[in-house]
Amino acid sequence: MKKTIFRGIATALITPTDENGVNYDQLGRLIDWQIAEGVDALVVCGTTGEASTLTDEEHRRVISYSVERSAGRVPVIAGTGSNETDYALALTKSACESGADAVLVVTPYYNKATQKGLIRMYNTIADASEKPVILYNVPSRTGVNIEPATYEALAEHENIVAIKEANGNLSKIVETMARVRGKLDLYSGNDDQIVPIMAMGGIGCISVLSNVIPAQTREICTRFFNGDIAGSAELQCKYYKLIEALFCEVNPIPVKAAMSALGFCENYFRLPLTPMEEVNYARLLDAMRELGLTP
Instruction: Give the CA distances from residue 98 to residues 21, 62, 221, in Å, rounded to whole numbers and listed in that order.
Output: 21, 10, 30
Instruction: Transcribe 133-147 into DSSP letters.
Output: EEEEE-HHHHS----
Q: Is 112 a catalytic residue?
A: no
Three-state DSSP at 98 gives helix
In the set 65, 122, 136, 187, the catalytic residue is: 136
Angle at 129 between CA 127 and CA 34, to 5 degrees: 145
Nearest CA to 188 among 175, 173, 172? 173
Q: How far apart are alpha carbons 292 and 27 in whole angstroms?
A: 24
In the set 65, 131, 164, 187, the catalytic residue is: 164
Three-state DSSP at 83 gives coil
Judge contact between 77 and 100, C-beta under 8 A.
yes
Judge contact between 55 and 91, C-beta under 8 A.
no
Q: Do you find a cis peptide bond into 254, omega within 30 degrees of 0?
A: no
Q: Is 164 a catalytic residue?
A: yes
The residues that are catalytic are: 136, 164
